[in-house]
A and B are shown apart, each in its own frame.
Chain A
Amino acid sequence: MSLTESSMEVEHDRSGATVVLHRVDQATPMVRPSRPRAAAEQGAGRWAWAVPGALIAVAALALSVRLWRLDAVGFNSDEAVYAGQAASLAGNPNYSELFPVFRAHPMLFQAVLSPFFRSGEVDVAGRVVVAVFGVATVLAVYLLGARLYSRPVGVVAALFLAVMPYHVIVTRQVLLDGPMVLFATLTLYCLVRFVQGQQLLWYVAAGGMLGATMLTKETSIVLAGGVYAFLALTPTVKRPVRISVLALAAMAVVFATHPISQALAGRSATGRSYLVWQLFRRPNHSMSFYLETVPGAMGLLLVAAAACGLWWLRRQRSWRETLLVSWVAAPVVFFQLWPVKGFQYLLPVAGPVAVLAARALVGLPLPARLRRYRLPWAGRLENAEPFHVARSVRALRIAAIAAVTLSLLVPSWKAVNQADNATFLAGSGGVPGGREAGRWLAANTPEGSVVLTLGPSMANIMQYYGHRRSYGLSVSPNPLHRNPSYDPLPNPDWWLRHNDLQYVVWDSFSAQRSKFFAERLMVLVRRYHGRVVHTEYVERTSSSGTRVPVPVIIIYEVRP
């Protein structure tokens, strides 16, 4: 491999064995119609404003979709935990005793959140922070797309991500995955800069950024596998061992912040046990879980466009596609094999898939037959001048992009407007009625009340909104079979008999997951004179088509 150094910004030719350098800030050698010179100059002037304008519009759209009815449903379990950690770190007295600062994950995101949680009960502010991370990711995807292909590709990729239901849903929740994907996208960007410029500092920066990604959520270490796969499949990229070691060291040093900060602040043992538990815990979903949930959430048309683009633009295949596909493949393969599955775990692939889809649609090849027909706003193509042909082709591509965008926007809009749901998938949004039930506990039960819930998820929500110590009945007393963050109740019957539990909370979401514990909980409710004191309902459409209230959370008062 030869490298020609230049004073200009450079990039490799996509397909050549030898490296040819191009200006990157010009259009990449994708399909570009020829245009009259004057029109091109005029167009260049328009583009100078069009791209920032489009980006502002996309960012505004992304922010709007992420903030719309953001407060309609309260936190889910994971949100409650991260928010509780942030509040605890900030010294919020409402949460310090209920949520330990250190649990399973590193604290980068929680540290960013904590200034918003210094006092009182906060939920929407935390989600706004994540939404801002989400919009930043949308802009980062523009940078990635523009850097890899062209500005139009960047803008379209950003548009896709802005309205992609998967990304919208996750970045409306106080979860680690939204911020993690921002850093992951920036890691990818640094890597692209390194490959394009062969400037080794970008390689080290990519290592550092991957470390920051891991500091947000340590499972993102699987993305290192994507980098490795890319480098292994692309021998043309120069990567001296010394610099690779330096990049790895940068990653390790950045990630070392997690154990160092814990050690300095008074480390808990939870983090150590958590990895062991994750390694040996039982599967929580079937093997087809991701296939059933993620493509639909990403948009079937979008995924199809990304996949088809790889086919119809195969002649222009280069290291770019290798990089994006490697980046997608690593987490998909890993989490497919990993027994524990979560809806949001594959979010890092959203950006690359959006870029691949944008690339495919911006370079969409049109069938020859289609070219014979006149478009309403263009001349008959075979008779038209090249400029008009280009406009018509562009119009068709825009139509295709619009169709894909619409196919994403509609489910996103439905998702953000669907506040009530009697079923719940972890990571897919808030828990209907959870916040209201928790607040009822806070307002109507004496301080010091202790609550038994069906599972640990509802316990987290009750602790967050209710400020009442809560225990999940289904938390195993066996340390090998439970999240080390959770305290089990080895003998709930004894606790109830001695008046150490005063309230029992049943919820339909946990009951659907575990019929055994749901039944067991009701046995205790009956045994200890359970009396319904509060019920939360959601409305559901019955078989007759009418809207009927369905109880989702029931609070019982119990006594010996």
Chain B
Amino acid sequence: MTDTTRPGMRRASCLLARALLLACLLAMVIPAPAAHAAPRRSAPAAGATTPIDHFVFLMQENHTFDNYFGTRPGVDGIPAGTCMPVRRGQAEPCVKPFHLGELGSLDLDHSAEAFRVQYNKGRMDGFVEGVSTQGKDGKLAMAYYDDRDLPYYWNIADEYVLFDRFFSSSNSGSIRNHMFRVTGGPGATGASESIPKEGWGDIPTIFDRLEAAGISWKFYVENYDPSITFRSRASEEDVDRGAQVIWVPLLAYARYVDDPRLFGRIVDLDEYYEDAAKGDLPAVSFIAPAGDSEHPPGSIRAGQTLVRTLLTQLMRSPNWDSSAFLWSYDDWGGWYDHVAPPQVDAYGYGFRVPGLLVSPYARRGYVDSTTLDFTSVLKFIEVNWRLKPLAERDRKAATFLGAFDFDRPPRPAAFLSTERTPAVVERPDPVPVYASYAVTGTLVAALVGVAAVRRRRWA
């Protein structure tokens, strides 16, 4: 049998190959002029549905909304007359919210059991008892910080967006909440709340979606030690660095750990600064802190400094005009919050946590009361880059698109003060200065004039 089309096809494919080769050579020899003229921007951002080409998500730890912003005017803060019973169901004695300030804090119990006691089937009257049953001073749960302690965060809230109905995804501790953060689900199901020895298996993550869509991403980890993964974690827990696997759930996935390409996207936080400085931030950046996570009894000032440093770098990055930076807290840390979290499934929500958004498109001084949780962040990424949902939670979650105002041009970056009330420069009244010098000048001129005129009279 003879294939009559073959010679023609061969010629055509030969021509096509030559044309492609020529095009490739031309492309190498003649660089596109636009590539030189355009300001440097990081690659992908392909197909973003909003002007946000670079999204950064930082997860701090262990504070509630009321603990940080409960006394802030204009938000759903601590109700007047609040007094938390020492024992559930007994009005007296009770503990009123008090300013913690420099008194020092403890790592309050924030397990699933603590949540159960504190939540108390929606009565929200077990915050003191939930802590005291663990042998700690339960009154501490009613402590709060305010703008004296968190001036930078409060200034951010003045200028950008503060969410006052942002719930932690899980009504338990860090592991589930971090899994919700990257997968939209709790990870381990049932009562178990630990990382399986074999890792998280094939639970899909948002990074799988991004990879599949060819959208750039990185997971920046403060004080990153690549040798600590789910396989080595047990031996590292003694030195308190094994928590890296909790904050970066990808390190508990065999496919991320074993694939050099994927593993190479988990990098030290230093790279964030370099990428931002060069304008090479990926489309999606997740950040996991280490010692600056504000986890009690850690320093909240150190946490503020970390956030400020990250924002400083973003604001002076060429990527600023197309970026958004959101940070929240992985769980409530045992602190009081007065809003009963909706229970959307067996795992949550947990209590409210602080959430703030900084972006050149963020509404100024806006309080967003949309009900959100960590999967809302996934939802935003999915909407912005047209990705499929990962799980039921993120499919149903609301987004915070209302916190942006894309009708206005991006705001120029501005570093905010770490002082809540910056020193006011008093400008002296200029009128006495002008008046006194004018009078004196006139007098001297008159004196000289009179001297000159008197001479003339004599003449």
Contacts and interface: CB of A to CB of B under 8 A. Distances in A.
Interface in A196-254: 197, 199, 201-202, 204-205, 208-209, 211-212, 215, 250, 254
A499 B451 contact: no
Interface centre among B312, B427, B451 (most CB of A within 10 A): B451
B235 interface: no
A531 B312 contact: no
B415 A257 contact: no
A199 B434 contact: no
Interface of A: 7-9, 88-91, 96-97, 100-102, 107-108, 111, 114, 186, 190, 193, 197, 199, 201-202, 204-205, 208-209, 211-212, 215, 250, 254, 257, 260-261, 264-266, 268, 445-450, 498-500, 502, 529, 531, 557, 559-560
B428 A266 contact: yes
Contacts of B455: 9, 193, 197, 199
B444 A254 contact: yes
A264 B429 contact: yes
Residue picked from A108, A111, A199, most chain B C-beta under 10 Å: A111
A499 B415 CA distance: 11
B313 interface: yes
A230 B32 CA distance: 79
7 contacts: A7-B459, A8-B459, A108-B437, A190-B451, A202-B451, A204-B451, A205-B444
B312 A266 contact: no
Given A7-B459, A208-B447, A209-B448, 13 more contacts: A9-B455, A208-B448, A257-B436, A261-B436, A264-B429, A265-B430, A266-B428, A448-B415, A498-B305, A498-B418, A502-B316, A529-B273, A560-B305
Contact of A446 (B413, B431, B447): B413
A559 B273 contact: yes
B175 interface: no
A28 B458 CA distance: 22
A445 B413 CA distance: 8
Contacts of A193: 451, 455
Contacts of A201: 447, 450-451, 454
Given A8-B459, A101-B428, A502-B415, A265 B443 contact: no
Nearest to B152: A499
B309 A199 contact: no
A497 B447 CA distance: 60
Contacts of B428: 101-102, 265-266, 268
Contact of A261 (B313, B433, B451): B433
- Greatest chain A CB density within 10 A among B309, B437, B443 is at B437
Given A102-B428, A502-B312, A212 B440 contact: yes
Contacts of A101: 427-428, 430, 433
A89 B418 contact: no
A271 to B, nearest CB: 12
Contacts of B75: none
A544 to B, nearest CB: 33
Interface string B381-421: 00000000000000000000000000000001111111000
A446 B412 contact: yes
Count chain A CB atoms within 10 A of each CB in B412, B434, B440, B455 and give the residue with the most. Answer: B440
B429 A265 contact: yes
B459 A205 contact: no
A90 B428 CA distance: 10
B73 interface: no
Contacts of B433: 89, 101, 107, 111, 261, 264-265
Given A107-B433, A447-B413, A209 B451 contact: no
A447 B413 CA distance: 7
Interface of B: 273, 277, 305, 308-309, 312-313, 315-316, 412-418, 425-434, 436-437, 439-441, 443-444, 447-448, 450-451, 454-455, 458-459
B434 A446 contact: no
Q: Is the interface of B mostly helix, strand, loop or mixed?
A: helix
Nearest to B429: A265
A455 B425 CA distance: 24
Contacts of B439: 257
A190 B448 CA distance: 8
Nearest to A447: B414
Contacts of A7: 458-459
Nearest to A106: B437
Contacts of A557: 277, 316
A446 B415 contact: yes
Contacts of A449: 316, 415
Contacts of B431: 265
A110 to B, nearest CB: 9
Contacts of B448: 186, 190, 205, 208-209
A446 B273 contact: no
A205 B447 contact: yes
A266 B433 CA distance: 10
B425 A448 contact: no
The 7 closest A-B pairs by CB, nearest first: A448-B415, A264-B432, A446-B413, A265-B428, A261-B436, A201-B451, A447-B414
B62 to A, nearest CB: 22
A261 B447 contact: no
Contact of A266 (B309, B414, B426): B426
Contacts of A97: 425
A325 to B, nearest CB: 25
A191 B303 CA distance: 70
Contacts of B414: 446-448
B425 A96 contact: yes
Nearest to B301: A498
A498 B412 CA distance: 23
Nearest to A250: B447
A429 to B, nearest CB: 28
B447 A264 contact: no
B316 A199 contact: no
Contacts of B440: 211-212, 215, 254, 257
Nearest to B450: A201
Contacts of B429: 264-266
Contacts of A215: 437, 440
A447 B417 CA distance: 11
Given A7-B458, A88-B427, A107-B437, A205 B451 contact: yes
A100 B433 CA distance: 14
Nearest to A183: B444
Contacts of B434: 111, 114
Contacts of B454: 199, 201
Contacts of A9: 455, 459
Contacts of A529: 273
Contact of B430 (A89, A190, A199, A250): A89
A446 B414 CA distance: 5
A340 B388 CA distance: 74
Interface centre among B429, B431, B458, B459 (most CB of A within 10 A): B458
A88 to B, nearest CB: 7
A268 B415 CA distance: 29
Contacts of B427: 88, 91, 96, 101
Nearest to B438: A111
Contacts of A266: 426, 428-429
